[in-house]
């Protein structure tokens, strides 16, 4: 039976997994005596499971497609179709909503963005919030498996920096990808390697958060939001307490998983012999978090007239560290002391700094979005080399093949991606302004969507922005931008401009 299921098309497997996942919130709704919501999720899951079964029967005799482009196309289709499937129970459970809002909510969850249009407390049943967190968790493990099974073999998603090869170079006839196993086999192996570790870490964090005093359902949603970096909570309030200092410290530890690909078992292009402390992504992330925390703490200290008590200064520093790490990993959780700091100092959140952290993003081939730390590191190393060459024109820097590739071809590809990212950001801002959004608000919303950091809308601008106040056109632009940010524009260019890459 399992062999027959593994032989199905990858996209059919994803549809079946999404349909079965709907029964989780249904069970939760039954336990909490919310029978209306339970029926909505149960029947939606049953309908989609039957529909998936019919598609599986129709496509059962189709031969496996070994073309790398088909694997990438299946990845894009997952982000286009699965949110539509996931929106059906939301429509049934929330009668006074419409498809546009439900689709945006599910796209935001599946891309691990965490933005919500339902920002009024009590607007959604708790089972729907659990479904948002489940889709975010599902989207997190999905992008990890895709990084291992689809993107890395095609030198995409940051793998091109380490390999030093042009993205999708292996798509040329005779490349290693076309000689390998089909997409279903690679995804099956990816699930076997990544999913147990991802599930185990989620359960471990869930239990630990419950031991620290959080209710079971709150702790579960918080654990899923942390591991997937979606930043989703059991409710619309992103400034809700996370359980105190020790819970925040624990969340920080698990957020560190999104800083480096070395934490993901089985990921290609990782030298396991190298020590973790020598990992360039992790070292750069720690430096960025420390510098950002110092700047934010000094900002608050100066605003109080240099009269802050030592305990308050320490609390401010911890709040700044947690906030910086949360936004660097594109999660967007807020420490419990953040509202208090605003009250003490009379200052808002450091929006420009948070925008910059979200744009940098987390590690390559992790659940975090943004430009990615390895690309920033490659550009920094190349800039350092150019400065040295001003004094020593014949200097040769970079120790080892990996360091030289990262400084040469890697820096070129990182700069190329950064330019594409910037042009995409400009295009999204233009579309949002055409949809009636002001320029400053459009910039904040565009960065939030393209970096998959939904809570940035409430903290990145001079005033908090609500997604529920946007027009349907603006929400559509942001939803598409979230998918582009999650898949990265370079991968979409490879998919739709294949011939130009071959040349």
CA dist 417 and 473 (Å) reads: 27
CA dist 182 and 74 (Å) reads: 12
CA dist 142 and 36 (Å) reads: 30
Token reading at 162: 């380490």
Q: Which residues contact 3 (CB under 8 A, 6 or more apart)?
A: none
To which residue do tokens 């390998």 refer? 180
Grouping H, G, I as helix, E, B as strand and the rest as coil, residue 374 is helix
Cβ–Cβ under 8 Å, residues 88 and 179 = no
CA dist 144 and 264 (Å) reads: 8
Select from 144, 172, 139, 192 the least CA-distant residue to 67.
Answer: 172
244 phi and psi, to 5 degrees? 100, 180
DSSP summary character for residue 349: -
Select from 195, 206, 41 the least CA-distant residue to 131.
Answer: 41
Residue 398 CB-half CA count within 13 A: 20
Q: Which residues contact 107 (CB under 8 A, 6 or more apart)?
A: 79, 83, 113, 479, 482, 483
For the chain, domain boundaries: 2-263
CA dist 312 and 318 (Å) reads: 10
Q: Taking the model in full, what pTM does it have?
A: 0.90
At residue 303's C-alpha, the angle toward residues 302 and 304, to 5°, is 90
CA dist 332 and 113 (Å) reads: 9
At residue 143's C-alpha, the angle toward residues 226 and 355, to 5°, is 55
Burial 442-457 (b: 16+ CB within 10 A, else e): bbbbbbbbbbbbbbbb
Q: What is the DSSP string of 296-337?
A: HHHHHHHHTTS---HHHHHHHHHHHHHHHHHHHTT-----TT
Each of the 503 residues of the chain gets a pLDDT tens digit; together they read 556 666 677 788 889 999 999 999 999 999 999 999 999 999 999 999 999 999 988 887 765 555 556 778 888 889 999 999 999 999 999 988 889 999 999 999 999 999 999 988 788 899 999 999 999 999 999 999 888 888 877 778 877 777 666 665 544 433 444 444 455 567 777 788 889 999 999 999 999 999 998 999 999 999 999 999 999 988 766 556 677 889 999 999 999 999 988 877 655 555 566 677 778 899 999 999 999 999 888 877 776 666 667 777 788 889 889 999 999 999 999 877 665 555 445 556 688 889 999 999 999 888 999 999 999 998 998 888 788 888 878 766 656 666 666 767 778 888 989 999 999 999 999 999 999 999 999 999 999 999 999 999 988 888 889 999 999 999 999 999 999 999 887 777 777 765 544 44
CA dist 145 and 138 (Å) reads: 11
Neighbours of 463 (CB within 10 A): 11
Name residue 233's beta-bridge partners: 235
Q: What is the pLDDT of residue 503?
A: 46
CA dist 266 and 264 (Å) reads: 6
Q: What is the pLDDT of residue 2?
A: 57
The number of residues making up the chain comes to 503
Name residue 235's beta-bridge partners: 233
Q: What is the pLDDT of residue 11?
A: 83
First to last CA, the chain: 44
424-432 CB contacts, 8 Å cutoff, 24+ apart: 424/450, 424/481, 424/484, 424/489, 425/450, 428/477, 428/478, 428/481, 431/477, 432/474, 432/477, 432/478
Give the C-alpha distances (Å, rounded to integers) separating 216 from 129, 210, 223, 423, 486: 14, 6, 10, 44, 30
70 burial class (0-12, 13-18, 19+ CB within 10 angstroms)? middle
């Amino acid at each position: 039976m399992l062999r027959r299921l593994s032989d199905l098309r990858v996209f059919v497997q994803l549809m079946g997994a999404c349909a079965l996942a709907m029964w989780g919130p249904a069970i939760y709704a039954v336990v909490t005596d919310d029978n209306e919501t339970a029926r909505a999720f149960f029947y939606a899951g049953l309908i989609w499971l039957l529909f998936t079964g019919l598609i599986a029967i129709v496509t059962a005799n189709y031969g496996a497609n070994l073309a790398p482009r088909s694997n990438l196309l299946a990845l894009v289709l997952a982000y286009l179709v699965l949110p539509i499937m996931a929106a059906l129970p939301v429509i049934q459970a929330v009668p006074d909503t419409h498809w546009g809002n439900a689709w945006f909510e599910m796209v935001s969850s599946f891309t691990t963005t965490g933005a919500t249009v339902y920002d009024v407390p009590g607007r959604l049943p708790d089972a729907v919030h659990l479904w948002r967190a489940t889709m975010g968790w599902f989207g997190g493990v999905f992008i990890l498996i895709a990084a291992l099974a689809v993107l890395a073999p095609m030198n995409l998603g940051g793998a091109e920096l380490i390999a030093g090869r042009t993205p999708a170079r292996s798509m040329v006839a005779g490349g290693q990808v076309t000689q390998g196993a089909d997409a279903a086999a690679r995804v099956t192996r990816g699930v076997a390697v990544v999913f147990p570790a991802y599930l185990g870490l989620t359960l471990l964090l869930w239990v630990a958060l419950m031991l620290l005093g959080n209710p079971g359902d709150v702790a579960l949603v918080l654990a899923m939001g942390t591991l997937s970096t979606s930043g989703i909570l059991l409710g619309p309030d992103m400034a809700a307490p996370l359980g105190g200092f020790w819970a925040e410290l624990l969340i920080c530890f698990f957020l560190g998983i999104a800083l480096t690909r070395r934490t993901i078992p089985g990921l290609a292009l990782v030298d396991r012999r190298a020590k973790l402390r020598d990992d360039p992504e992790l070292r750069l992330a720690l430096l960025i978090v420390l510098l950002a925390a110092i700047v934010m703490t000094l900002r608050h200290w100066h605003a109080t007239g240099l009269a802050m008590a030592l305990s308050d200064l320490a609390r401010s520093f911890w709040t700044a560290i947690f906030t910086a790490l949360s936004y660097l990993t594109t999660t967007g959780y807020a420490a419990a002391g953040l509202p208090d700091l605003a009250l003490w100092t009379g200052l808002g959140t450091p929006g420009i700094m948070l925008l910059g952290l979200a744009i940098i993003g987390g590690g390559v081939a992790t659940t975090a979005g943004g430009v990615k730390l390895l690309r920033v590191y490659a550009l920094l190393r190349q800039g350092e080399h150019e400065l040295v060459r001003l004094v020593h024109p014949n200097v040769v820097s970079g120790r080892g093949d990996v360091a030289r590739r990262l400084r040469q071809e890697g820096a070129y590809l990182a700069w190329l991606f950064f330019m594409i990212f910037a042009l995409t950001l400009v295009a999204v801002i233009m579309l949002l302004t055409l949809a009636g959004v002001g320029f400053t608000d459009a910039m904040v919303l565009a960065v939030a969507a393209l970096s998959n950091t939904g809570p940035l809308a409430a903290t990145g601008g001079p005033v908090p922005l609500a997604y529920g106040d946007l027009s349907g056109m603006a929400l559509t632009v942001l939803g598409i931008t979230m998918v582009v940010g999650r898949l990265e524009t370079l991968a979409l260019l490879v998919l739709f401009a294949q011939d130009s890459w071959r040349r």
